[in-house]
Amino acid sequence: MTDTVSQFDRRMLEALICPQTRSVLKYDAEAQELISTGAKLAFPIRNGIPVMLVDEARDIS
């Protein structure tokens, strides 16, 4: 696989938490985002790298 999903290490996902709520994130492969349901934020994954900045996150409320 050469797409972004294969570039994203799933083990890294297990180690990442929401910077605002410290809760577990859900991976949305189609949107290439990590979702924090508690914070109602979607953190983008750009070029296989999660951008874990609240200012860069999309509001999903």
In this predicted structure, the answer to whether residue 8 has a pLDDT above a threshold of 70 is no
Concatenating the DSSP letter of every residue in the chain gives: --SHHHHS-HHHHHH-B-TTT-PBPEEETTTTEEEETTTTEEEEEETTEE---GGGSEE--
Average pLDDT over residues 3-25: 78
The domain in which residue 23 lies consists of 4-59
For 5, residues 6+ apart whose C-beta sits below 8 A from its C-beta are 29, 32
Quick one: pLDDT at residue 48? Answer: 85
pTM (predicted TM-score): 0.82
Check which CATH number belongs to the domain holding 36 and give it. Answer: 2.20.25.10
| Domains identified in the chain, total number | 1
What pLDDT was estimated at residue 14? 76
